[in-house]
A and B are shown apart, each in its own frame.
Chain A
Amino acid sequence: MKVYVSGLYSGGNPQPGVGIVRSVRQGFPFATIVGVEYSNRVSGIHWEDLDELWIQRPWSELDLDAYGAQVRGVLDEGGLWISGSDLEAMWLASIFPDGHRNLLAPPNGAFKRITKPSVEAADKLPVEVPTFISTDLPDWELHAFCRAHNWRVWLKGPYYDAARTPTWDRFIAARDALTKVWSTDRLFLQAHVSGYEESVMLAAYQGELLGCVSMRKRDITPEGKTWAGDVSPVDPKFEEPLREMVRDLNWTGGGELEMVRDAAGQRWLLEMNPRFPAWVHGATIAGHNLPALLVQAAAGVNARRAKPLASEFTRVVLEVPVRDEFPLPALPEPFAGAIGHSMKHPSGLTSLAERLHKADAELIGIAEEEAVADGIPQVPETFLDDIAAYDLERLQTPEFLYMGSTAEQLFRRAGERAHRLSTNEVQVVSGYSIKTNPDERLIGLALENGFLAEAISLLEVQKALKVGFRPDQVILNGPGKWWPEGMMPKERLHAVFCDSVADLDRCVDALATGEMDSRHVGIRIRTPNVVSRFGIPLDSPGTFRALVEAVERLPAHVAFGVHFHMASSNIGVAQWWHLFESMLKWCRAIEQLTGRTIEILDMGGGWFPDDWHSSDESRFVRAVERVKAVLPRVTQIVSEPGKAMAQPSMALAMRILEIQEHEDDSIEAVVDGSIAELPMYAFQPHRILRQCGESGALQPLGRGKTHLMGRLCMEHDIVATNVALPEGTRAGDVLIFCDAGGYDRSMSYVFGRG
């Protein structure tokens, strides 16, 4: 009996070949085992159990047709083949679409039904699939997905790569890298599930499940790969549907379902691999020798049974002698003047991905039922109306465009919503955060629509008063609220929130001397577990005690309040709501310990416009109910939507200066805007429009191979990457970057203007 085993890479992220070889050897002591590899740099080829080696040239060089014929010859002569590599198995499936009785790998049809991320074939298993979306969608929607999942998301390739993308710029970088490595744009973003990692391994022959076993990872490498685990039989409630699934797929070979079990015991399927896992021999140690069962079924020869040695296994690192006939390859030359050697997989697996993709894009593409999106975002009608009011030809670009009707609609809706959320006991009012955009037109809209003005400096207070706010409509907070000196209004303010214990003591003094007056005086709390430089910390019993004692120093004649602020766009929407609940608990503790009742709650902010404006109003209704239940003396809730108001209210027009096409189809276009006008370019996507030269219509830009480079002579001045310029775009055309009215506007600076 001759058994061919591939996938012998045995590094920190090993392939299963060596484990398969050890297990086959245990079941069939006298079998001839042939190691198949595509590089002599793969250390597993030196493993002692291998009787013969069949080393091929790397995938990048291999003549696939000739090699395919050789493999067929080997199988026809009775050799059994267990593939230890996903891509090799996929390629074999393309050579033998209906399988071969000696090929112990899944047939072509099965692959299509296990592609990540949906794993359609597993729909009968008692597992859930974590939410995911295709990166074919517009950046605008991808950003929304990340916010909705608290930035705990994974960008995954169609095979086995995955990168955590906790911020937008990391997402952009990872998308570029994965697209290049796997020669495909078909990536997807998947929500993270936290829990314990476990796997089910299976072996099947021609649709019959031969055996399966469950493993919990008990120790993992920094890459999350198994180092130690415990092995147990598969729960019958899982095994039965698994047996059906295997029959349905006509599965042959090994397989692995990688899962996470959450705190409630629910299993989430991360992926299904078309081969045995690298821990395969760990199961053999525990008495579940699935490779031997597989060979037994295919060859009709009974495997030698072995007693289980333990129900737990771990790994050790071993030095083994190098075989004379395959000495180590030459030492790689370090890159001149740089760091490191080649980082590529020694067998050139990624180039197999490229070749497979070119041969049959469908074969390894992500199964996609719905029409492929083109990355073109939806742009609200009011944006188009507002931009149409400008004579783009005559604009002196770069230029911010005030989006009048958009802004009016946003402020009016926010005012109406606050009114609807108010009850007889609790008034809900919006606060306009002046720092997000101090444009007087926006401050004026805030005043008209019943907002309070939120200021972080006395200059901002003066600005609010100048536009027409009364002092008792102004909230002052932040660490620099006494700056500049001597500008504190003598009149009574609506509320002042203190950023530190020292700030609170200063306010207490100022109230006593009459230097400052305010109806409410409160504290901003620094919620634990979220990094912030603001507010009074609660992270130790000592800081909490200091806060409680400081609150007790507040004079009785001012009403007390609490301010809590965290950018929901950074931490994610669900996490923001958790923080809200957490803050209520802290407030209740502060009330009980100080005897001071909280009358005003100020909750910010940093909401992404779509999250704030389109989110289900019932969430806010419930929040008001929660406040009433937990803090019954609160009479006013100030809700600070932050950039949700400002961001859509302005756009930035810029002109294309030059377009350069490169040999690799990429396009570099230089524009007269820059990161000086668009400092948020790395933190959030912007919807971009171009006015068609002929029709004058505004066309949104989809995804493509163009990079828009700013006018500044600075390496990082790139205002957009991977966009598609519509046909006919020329130098001189105007591009409109929407969603630029928040910090893009307020933090823009003068640079490179002479």
Chain B
Amino acid sequence: MYLVEVESAAKDQAAEVVAPGAPSDRWEEFPYSRLSHHGDRCCEMARQWVVAMDFAQLNGASVESGPRWLREKYKWGPSPWPMHWCDVVERDTIDCGAHAALALEVFAARGLAAFPAQLVQKYSKEATDQWRGSWEAEEVSCHWLDGEHIYHEATAVLVGTGELKVWDGSAGSWVNPRQRGGYGSVLSIRVFADSPEAISNGFRWGEQRIAANRWQQIG
């Protein structure tokens, strides 16, 4: 009986071929989130605090460790834009764009090459409906939701020659480059980089090759 089950499960698996999803056109030209600076002490104090705090939290670990403390301090949820440095540090809840911007700042302060990264991920209609509800309740734009797909921001970090790791600041974890398809998986990624080397060579992310500055389908 057990074997029969195994075999039928294997058949189901083979039948269900998931076509790689294309990112929605609506995010084709989308810019990544940037924090604003009042050009004054209010924002400078906040920025310096984030950078010094990050070093303290590193606690002697490798500079390539993800800044998980930021996710522990700031919950993920709706936040209004534009956002200034002095606003972002005082909030309890920030969205993935703000998380990604903070992570970008601290990776750079640690001396690493870090780049803004945009993702299109697959969830489910139920999940995006839920998120739409909570974003609308805060009167914050839901431009990032589309059917079972979402637009999401993260931070790419150069860890070796041309090799990237992608930090999902609002999840507090590294994005798994091996996940192909399914709930929570990455369908497309775009990494912004302006060095001539990155533009001509692109990056390696897990087994994949990623060109700089354009959407790239995964899978």
Contact = CB atoms under 8 A, between A and B. Distances in A.
Given A575-B59, A593-B41, A538 B52 contact: yes
A620 interface: no
Contacts of A575: 59-60
Interface string A255-270: 0000000111100000
Contacts of B59: 529, 575, 578
Interface in B37-85: 41, 44-46, 48-49, 51-53, 55-62, 64-65
Nearest to B47: A589
B57 A529 contact: yes
A309 B6 contact: yes
A232 B89 CA distance: 41
Nearest to B176: A230
B64 A264 contact: yes
Interface string B1-39: 011001001100110000000000000000000000000
Contacts of B3: 25-26, 29
Nearest to B65: A263
Contact of A593 (B2, B13, B44, B57): B44
B interface: dominant SS: helix
A541 B57 contact: no
A194 B61 contact: yes
Contacts of B9: 309
B178 interface: yes
A542 B45 CA distance: 10
Contacts of A264: 62, 64
A541 B47 CA distance: 9
A309 B64 contact: no
Contacts of B13: 307, 309-310
Contact of B49 (A29, A309, A541): A541
Contact of A541 (B45, B62, B160): B45
B90 interface: yes
Interface in A534-562: 538-539, 541-542, 544-545, 548
B70 to A, nearest CB: 13
Interface in A158-201: 194
A545 B48 CA distance: 11
B62 A262 contact: yes
A687 to B, nearest CB: 30
Nearest to B46: A541
A544 B53 CA distance: 10
Interface stretch (A113-121, A414-422, A493-501, A580-588): A580-588
Nearest to A582: B56
A544 B41 CA distance: 13
Q: For chain A, give the interface size range.
A: 35 or more
A528 B56 contact: yes
Query: Most chain-A Cβ atoms within 10 A of its Cβ — which of B13, B46, B53, B65?
Result: B53
Interface in A16-69: 25-26, 29, 48-49
A581 to B, nearest CB: 7
A585 B55 contact: yes
Contacts of B46: 541
B40 to A, nearest CB: 11
B208 to A, nearest CB: 15
A263 B60 contact: no
A527 interface: yes
B56 A309 contact: no
A150 interface: yes
A544 B64 contact: no
A545 B60 contact: no
Contacts of A194: 61
Given A541-B90, A593-B41, A593-B44, A582 B55 contact: yes
Nearest to A307: B10
Contact of B52 (A232, A262, A306, A585): A585
Interface string B175-201: 000100000000000000000000000
Given A25-B2, A29-B3, A529 B90 contact: no
Nearest to A310: B13
B56 A529 contact: yes
A579 B55 CA distance: 9
Given A29-B3, A541-B89, A592-B48, A574 B10 contact: no
Given A542-B90, A575-B60, A592-B48, A528 B2 contact: no
Contacts of B62: 262-264
Interface in A296-311: 306-307, 309-311
A264 B56 CA distance: 20
A589 B61 contact: no
Contacts of A574: 60
A545 B47 CA distance: 12
Contacts of A529: 56-57, 59
B129 to A, nearest CB: 27
Nearest to A592: B48
A585 B50 CA distance: 11
Given A194-B61, A263-B65, A586 B52 contact: yes
Nearest to A304: B3
Contacts of B49: 538, 541, 544, 589
A149 B13 CA distance: 48
Contacts of A585: 51-52, 55-56
Nearest to B160: A265
Contact of B55 (A265, A310, A581): A581
Contacts of B53: 528, 538-539
A307 B48 contact: no
14 contacts: A25-B3, A263-B64, A264-B62, A265-B159, A310-B13, A529-B56, A538-B53, A541-B49, A542-B90, A545-B45, A574-B60, A578-B58, A582-B52, A586-B52
Given A309-B9, A585-B55, 13 more contacts: A25-B3, A527-B56, A538-B49, A538-B52, A541-B90, A545-B45, A578-B59, A582-B52, A585-B56, A586-B56, A589-B48, A589-B49, A592-B44
Closest 8 CB pairs of A and B: A263-B62, A578-B60, A589-B48, A541-B89, A263-B64, A528-B56, A582-B56, A307-B10
